[in-house]
Amino acid sequence: MEKWIALIPAMPFIGFLINGLGVKKISKPVAGAVGVACSLAAFLLALLVLFQFKSEDGKPVSTELWNWISNPRFNIGFSFQLDQLTLVMLMVVTGVGFLIHIFSLGYMHEDEGFGKFFAFLNLFLFSMLILVLGGNLLMTFIGWEGVGLCSFLLIGFWNKNKAYNEAAKKAFVMNRIGDLGFLIGIFLLLYRFGSVEYSVLVENLSLVAAVNDPYLVWAGFCLFVGAMGKSAQLPLFTWLPDAMAGPTPVSALIHAATMVTSGIYLVIRMNALYSAIPFVQEIILWVGLATALLGALIGTSQNDIKKVLAYSTVSQLGFMFVALGVGAYTAALFHVITHAFFKALLFLGAGSVIHGLHEEQDIRNMGGLKKYLPITYGTFFVANLAIAGIPPFSGFFSKDEILAHTYAANKAAYIFLAIIAGITAFYMFRLFFLVFYGEYRGKLSSGKIHESPGSMFIPLIILAVLSTIGGLIGIPPVFHAPHLLADFLSPVLEPGSRLVTNFNLGHSLSHTDEWMVMGISVIISLLGIAVAWLMYISKKTVPSFEAPSGILHRLTEGKFFLDEIYDWVVVKPVNLIAGLFSVLVDLLMVNLIVEGIGMMSRGLSMGLRTSQGGRVSGYLFIMFFSILIFAVYFLVSGI
Amino acid sequence: MNSLYLFLFPLALSGMAYLSGKKAALQQILALAGLLGSGALLYLANSRGLSDQQVNYPWITSLGIHFSLEINGLNFWFLALNALVCFIALFYHINQASKNLRPDVVVLIFGVQAILNGVFMAQDLMLFYFLFEASILPVYFISSRYGSPAAERATLKFFLYTLFGSLFMLLAILYLYAKSGANDFLFSSLFADNLPAETQGWLFLAFFLAFAIKMPLFPFHSWQADAYAESPVESTILMSGILLKMGIYGMLAIVLPHFPQGVTDYGHIFMGLSAFGVVYGALIAMVQYDFRRVLAFSSLSHVGLIGCGILAYSDVALEGVILQMFAHGVNIAGLFVVSELIASGAGTRDLDQMGGLSRQSFGLTVFFFIFLLGSIAVPLTNGFPGEFQLLMGLFGYNIYLGIFCGLTVIFSSVYMIRLFQKSMLGLETDGRAAFPKLNASQTFSLFLLAALVLGLGLYPQVISRISNSAVQVLLRAY
């Protein structure tokens, strides 16, 4: 079984090599076939490994290919590890990844960079697989930086456009800020435990005797900073909306379903650490909550179809971090899974709309698309019900689990979160109504609007099915059915939950509370949808093109001006300092001191110099060779 | 004996290059022979046991100066890098100037290789000093004969600056000689006993200054940007790729093991300064518009990190020093070659006048990007294992210093991506750029470097296995 593990990431890497090296020579159909085949191969291998793993005893399988970095203090292996958490991520990554590869066949068909696109997409899949398969923190870090790099390449895919390039750079740099945190977290753990191999870490962490050991608090916090960058949490989230510059399948795969959930994966992976540091969990809870709120608020007044979805992703990731913050790791992973289904579906649906409308992205220029794009409409509706949390669609189960755990742990946070869930339903249906209902407001003649080809709508249908039934893997305990995901995942979470029990930090929820939470969340979601209905169907409101009035609206429409604030607080000062260093310090101070000393001696030697004439280089040339000759002479005579 | 061969071999090639004149094909064969021959000598030396390779001849007997060379775990990778970088410079020159080949440049580059091999292998302090001084001359000749007037001025500044620094080293060497009472300058005699703590301080300063100027570390870097930017690219490749490694080598071979008290007393000051240089160089690189100046300041930043790592007397950081030393040589040589190919294609080095070049040359874009990844230390490139261990060592030495230097993780991505985007991406500028396709020899040398970027990132053990024990010995004194 070990031998299969390394093959999984190898598959997309082969695809990357073929399409990357042959980018000029390979025709579009071949490039597409290679890209899709390699992602399919990874998916099939992952399935194979899943079944083999189930038939064995369920213990983590690990394999070290070679010793990667060695040092008197530690050895870090190039190692892979496979356990239940990895398997779940593998299925999501390769499964959704494969569907999005297929979708891209149609979506990117006209693009001149077709082969390049599939090469990058495969490289991304490779990095993401390394991330989830890595057997130690540094292996995960390889994938971590790798996906950031691919994100950079794919955001700036249409690199003639300067704004897109800026967005790509912003994403990479913001991710690197997080990566520095990740690295420092690795340093701390490596100094403390002498290894960052997950198995060793878990073993050591389960012996932790005290809650909130300051050393571990810092380590956990630094790793979380890394997660903030990758998973777009406050304050490092502003890159994600800009990342929508990339082709839409990229937004679906990287910026919704997989890469941005790496931060959640990391925290779940380190659950033994976080369970021992409730202080950091508290931080995670509030950061997640604030991000969820901010993303949802901004989402209510964006008019670019992809931007709405981007802020919704930010907000949903916030939900997942809230779950992590209250120690509900299963709920977080559950939401990762369902979110991967319905958000990928939403993005692909958006892609289908954009494709059908010939690159139109502004929802003010849409409307009434229901009759032109029936399949897109139907699947989009399913995804909307899922994200709004309407039973029995998948999002209901995962979101409800998060809400229930939050209720048990922290009532104040719960109230906020429930309200955010309502806002979510509102802005998603605002989008939905504005795009698909009412009259068409755009300029295209109706004959030109077309439904997408099969390669595009088949993935939509599959994802719609998954978004509908995906919730069944995590049925709440009140229904007395097995929670499949929780049962499957329990070995991974066991070290953390043991600590929680030891430290007596657990929460519990009665059945009546659970029913109440469930009821409230459904009511709130329906309320959100109803408001959207009133505004955009009954009153037929269309967002105006003019700048909004009203403080809250202006704030949300302007994205709380965070970009501007960062620009003034960070970017401009750094550039100013750089400019000062460059001109004032380097040229005028450091250089002039040296030149001054040089000038003095030059004045002294002026007399000597004039008597000689000639170029300095000529003399040195002669000097050099005469010295060389002497040297050789001495050497020879010496022997 | 291999140490002697390693010194004489490039000299012999130098002579043959002189005789070959303007025949590009012959010169190319010589360049390849230089790389393969040096590689073979090093490989054999390693497989036969490094300790058997030393030679020791009396040289200037009246003064007790010996011609004493050895190959050891410490200098091994410096020697390998030397062969590689000189090869890259040679190949670039022969290929680029094939119609207008200048045999003296080839002769001089082989000269550099021989001299630097001597510097790295010397076990006699006077021999070390002599070669350390001589090493700059060939580069100076290349710059002054074939560079612009600005190049000559810049290299002269470099020359005088390092000469100035070395003067103190010479004084220190003479002092050590007088002090030891031995009749020779061999390392083993001069450093036979532990030096008294009170003299270690100024001995440290004297040697440190010479090496810090060569590397250069902040604030001794003011020769660097001009020299890198104005010189013919062959000189720039040599200066950035291998000449500065003499400073690193000197720190490791002389300063660290023999003046521990000096390092303890003064090291932290210079650590602070070069840590400042890490961020300072990175920030300045962010606002440069000359392609080569961006690289020059990035080099200041990277080498500053190496300097910090040396002085931190941390076993973790020292492993990183060797890895990063080699990685820096590979990456910066690759980047300067790329920069020159771009500049000659675009007809300018001004970043604001470039754009969209990636659509003209696929190969060049890929190579550029690989070197970029190595330079910003993305995992699985050669830059990562070194930078990781350096930062980790520094972090262990002092948390705040480690985090401060860690800013390079962020800033390096800013300036390198800016460099890449401004030159390779965006819109083409007025169709001035016309890239010929990379020819076979260009592809070959860039491929060699790129393979090292990725190979050493995947398996850095190749380096650390040989250098490991030698490096750890350096910390014995602490």
HEC string of chain B equals: CHHHHHHHHHHHHHHHHHHHCCCHHHHHHHHHHHHHHHHHHHHHHHHHCHHHHCEEEEEEHHHCEEEEECCCCCCHHHHHHHHHHHHHHHHHHHHHCHHHCCHHHHHHHHHHHHHHHHHHHECEHHHHHHHHHHCHHHHHHHHHHHCCHHHHHHHHHHHHHHHHHHHHHHHHHHHHHHHHCCCCCEHHHHCCCCCCHHHHHHHHHHHHHHHHHHCCCCCCCCCHHHHHHHCCHHHHHHHHHHHHHHHHHHHHHHHHHHCHHHHHHHHHHHHHHHHHHHHHHHHHHHCCCEHHHHHHHHHHHHHHHHHHHHHCCCHHHHHHHHHHHHHHHHHHHHHHHHHHHHHHHHCCCEHHHCCCHHHCCHHHHHHHHHHHHHHCCCCCCCHHHHHHHHHHHHHHHCHHHHHHHHHHHHHHHHHHHHHHHHHHCCCCCCCCCCCCCCCHHHHHHHHHHHHHHHHHHHCCHHHHHHHHHHHHHHHHHC
Whether residue B187 is predicted with pLDDT greater than 70 in this model: the reply is yes
Q: CB A160 to CB B380 under 8 A?
A: no
| Minimum distance, in Å, between the CA of residue B199 and any CA atom of chain A | 27
Whether B288 maps to a domain, the answer reads: yes
Chain B hits for A24, CB-CB cut-off 8 Å, are: 362
Torsion sign (Cα): B457, B459, B461, B463? negative
CB < 8 Å from A in window 36-75 of B: 57-61, 67
Is the pTM higher than 0.90? The answer reads yes
Chain B hits for A6, CB-CB cut-off 8 Å, are: none
Q: CB A638 to CB B57 under 8 A?
A: yes
Confidence of residue B430 (pLDDT cuts 50, 70, 90): low
Low-confidence ranges of chain A (pLDDT < 50): 607, 610-614, 638-639
| Minimum distance, in Å, between the CA of residue B256 and any CA atom of chain A | 18
pLDDT at A416: 94
pLDDT at A620: 56
Whether B331 maps to a domain, the answer reads: yes
- Segment holding A447, helix H or strand E: none
Chain A hits for B392, CB-CB cut-off 8 Å, are: 187, 190-191
Chain A hits for B394, CB-CB cut-off 8 Å, are: none
Write out A459-471 in H/E/C secondary structure. HHHHHHHHHHHHH
Whether B418 maps to a domain, the answer reads: yes
Q: pLDDT digit string (tens) for B336-384?
A: 999 999 888 888 888 888 888 888 888 899 999 999 999 999 999 999 9
Mutate: best of B56, B410, B469, partner A, most A CBs <10 A: B410
Q: CB B410 to CB A177 under 8 A?
A: yes
Whether B341 maps to a domain, the answer reads: yes
Rounded Cα–Cα distance for residues A471 and A531 (Å): 26
Chain A hits for B227, CB-CB cut-off 8 Å, are: none
Chain A hits for B288, CB-CB cut-off 8 Å, are: 582
pLDDT at A76: 93
CB < 8 Å from B in window 576-595 of A: 577-579, 581-582, 585-586, 590-591, 593-595
Rounded Cα–Cα distance for residues B467 and B388 (Å): 17
Q: CB A578 to CB B287 under 8 A?
A: yes
Mutate: best of B112, B287, B359, B456, partner A, most A CBs <10 A: B287
Instruction: Give the single-character DSSP code of A581.
Output: I
Which residue range is the domain that position B449 belongs to?
Answer: 259-478
Residues paired with A77 in a beta bridge: A67
CB < 8 Å from B in window 545-574 of A: 574
B158/A contact by beta carbon, under 8 A: no
- String of DSSP letters for A353-377: HHHHTTS--BGGG---GGGT-HHHH
Q: pLDDT digit string (tens) for B32-45?
A: 999 999 999 999 99
Record the tokens describing residue A62, joined without a space: 């690990």
pLDDT at A610: 46
**Total count of residues recorded for chain B:** 478
- Average model confidence (pLDDT) across chain B: 89
In degrees and rounded to multiples of 5, residue A68 shows phi and psi of -85, -65
CB < 8 Å from A in window 320-379 of B: 356, 358, 362, 373, 378-379
Q: CB A578 to CB B284 under 8 A?
A: yes
Whether B323 maps to a domain, the answer reads: yes
What's the total number of domains in chain B? 1
Candidates A403, A247, A416; CA nearest to A320 is A403
CA–CA distances in Å: residue B269 to residues A321, B206, B276, B311, B435: 43, 15, 11, 10, 47
Residue extents of the structural domains in chain A: 277-544, 563-638
Q: pLDDT digit string (tens) for B102-146?
A: 888 899 999 999 999 999 999 999 999 999 999 988 998 888 888
pLDDT at A626: 59
Whether B433 maps to a domain, the answer reads: yes
Q: Using an 8 Å Cβ cutoff, are A379 and A345 in contact?
A: yes
